[in-house]
Amino acid sequence: MTKNFRQDIATEATKRKLAGCVTVPRAKTFGFRYVQCEKCEIGEKREQKIVRMQRQPGAQRSGATSRVQARNAGALPLRLFAPQCTGYLRLHPTALAGATASVSLRSRLRLNCCSVYHTIEKSVLGETSMRHKNKQGISYSVFPFGSSRQMLLVGEPAEHYTCQNDVQGQGQTVPDYPRQIRSLLEQCRDVCEKEGFAENMTVMCHFFIANIGMQELVRQLALEIFPETIFGACTIVPQAPASGAVIALELWVVNGNRSLYEPAMPGEAALAEFDDMRWFFGGGYRPETYLVGAYDRSLDAFDCLAAELILREFKLNQILRTWIYQGHLVLPEGETQRYKELNRARTDVFGKTQFLKKYLPKTFQGTVYPASTGIGADDVDVVISAIALDTKRKDVIVVPLENPNQTSAFDYGAAYSPQSPKFSRAMAVAVAGECIIFVSGTASIIDSESQHIEDPTKQTEQTLDNIAALIAGENLDRHGIADIACGLGNLECVRVYVKRPSELALIRQVCERRLPEIPILYTIADVCRPELLVEIEGIALARRE
């Protein structure tokens, strides 16, 4: 660049645009990045007024090669300003990534545009995730994906509040359901506001409740505490939190500078759009039929999901992830088993559907089914949630992952289920050097055989080994996604289903040792085989090396 670098930047910015936000290469001497103000671009006939990221006096130069060096040198204060601008600053995470790569996670940016100030964590805008745990039962990850900011949060009430039940003069101490539910929801709302997810966001929420009679109370309190405009896809699962609390939740929040959201009625669907990708988040699909039996009710719940997809201009073949919560999963039903009847219904619904065909790598020749979790619940019904993706982008790759150490579930023999479980071990979505991986419910299975019978510790170790092999960079490369390293440390959120409450401590010990600082939710649930004691699922995010 010449000495008149401002003019050079303006010239270069005219030529380059990324998702509506102008970016230019960082000037090596000064370590600058530039983004464009939305008001300047749209309101003044695209006149280029560049927002300059300027180092303040005493700031560290860009030579730090590690977080330790950055921390020792002190926080790196940066200021963004737009001269004589009346608009609002629009940030683009990828535009700032290069300027934040060598900065301590605790460093902050102060944004100054049109006298509007806002302080945000730098790591949100950089290339690394930011994870938090607090003493109030809340744990969460905040991370960028494309131009969006996303948060995965798990939580339980800060205290297991109780009250006195004086019915018939017995004076029993019972859980205070409203107080526990309200305290959890208020904590989650406070975290959303603290992390900047207060508006223009899409929410997918799973509530796990210890008493099926709490469903309406949970729904009403959620609508009261969270603004209705941000309350999206909601699934209430009759599955007890492992800690003994009456309720736990997993919250997935999507927010981006080019994000659109369209929440439907609570419990149905929410839509998010960013980077020319449309995401469908659906939840709470229960059967509406009067028929009984796992097959008929599962079939009807899938039909409700399919109808919602059509209503939102999606198709069945665009589903990439499902969750199926089947009450009394492994109990017999007539001469068969409820889980086997669920598999029969899923097989009939999917039929010969060619899932995600236009997004597959050209070299892919395998079988494609959505990633999925089929897990037990405490009632005798079924509820389904799902994620689907639609995009016209040619650089988006969606590919199912199979584990090199396991037989694909859809290839299981009839001994496990007359109609094999139609799901993939994981589903990966790769775009622009980033890859988000939806890991299906995974258990202690090698080939198709259960391992370490009656040993919860070894089953947990084996399950995590299976996930590590599934999401490893070598396996991604094998499936057509190259140059992306991934491991257990890339998991942003994990769910652990524990069959026996008495074995929770052993399972938790393994998970916390191998998944340190990762948000983990533990619930009590039946797993698909009687001998399996634990099942684990998660969401991982990795980037190109």
pLDDT tens track for 464-520: 999 999 999 999 999 999 999 999 999 999 999 999 999 999 999 999 999 999 999
The two three-digit tokens of residue 321, written as one number: 């992830």
Q: Is the pLDDT of residue 382 over 80?
A: yes
Question: In this predicted structure, what is the pLDDT of residue 456?
Answer: 98
Q: Is the pLDDT of residue 87 over 90?
A: no
Whether residue 68 has pLDDT greater than 50? no
Handedness of CA 339, 344, 349, 351 (dihedral sign): positive
- Phi, psi at residue 286, to the nearest 5°? -115, 155
Question: What is the mean predicted confidence (pLDDT) over 195-200?
Answer: 78
pLDDT digits (tens, 9 = 90+) for 302-347: 999 999 999 999 999 999 999 999 999 999 999 999 999 999 999 9
Which position has the higher pLDDT, 257 or 146? 146
**pLDDT reported for residue 270:** 86
CB 368 within 8 A of CB 354: yes
More confidently predicted of 58 and 113: 58
Residue 159: the pLDDT is 86
3-state secondary structure of 279: strand
DSSP assignment of 315-356, as one string? Answer: -GGGEEEEEEEEETTTSEETTEEHHHHHHHHHHHHHTT--TT
pLDDT value at residue 231: 61
Nearest alpha carbon to residue 385 among 184, 187, 239: 239
Q: How confident is the model at residue 168 (pLDDT cuts 50, 70, 90)?
A: low
491-498 and 520-524 as β-strands: parallel, antiparallel, unpaired?
Answer: parallel
Beta strand pairing status for 269-274 and 277-285? antiparallel
φ and ψ of 237, to 5 deg: -110, 120
- Give me the pLDDT at residue 18, please: 36
pLDDT given at position 128: 61
Cβ neighbours of 54 (radius 10 Å): 15
Q: What is the pLDDT of residue 378?
A: 95
Distance CA 456, CA 501 (A): 11
Confidence of residue 175 (pLDDT cuts 50, 70, 90): confident
How would residue 170 be classed by pLDDT, with cut points 50, 70 and 90? low
> Where is pLDDT greater, at 273 or 514?
514
Residues paired with residue 132 on neighbouring β-strands, in sequence order:
140
174: its two tokens: 């019972």
448 vs 73: CA distance, rounded Å = 53
User: Does residue 265 have a pLDDT over 80?
Assistant: no
- Amino acid letter, 284: G
- Residue 361, pLDDT > 80, answer yes
Q: Which of 149-163, 252-266, 375-389, 433-447 has the lowest mean pLDDT?
A: 252-266
Most confident of 41-45, 120-124, 241-245: 241-245
Segment 95-114 mean pLDDT: 29
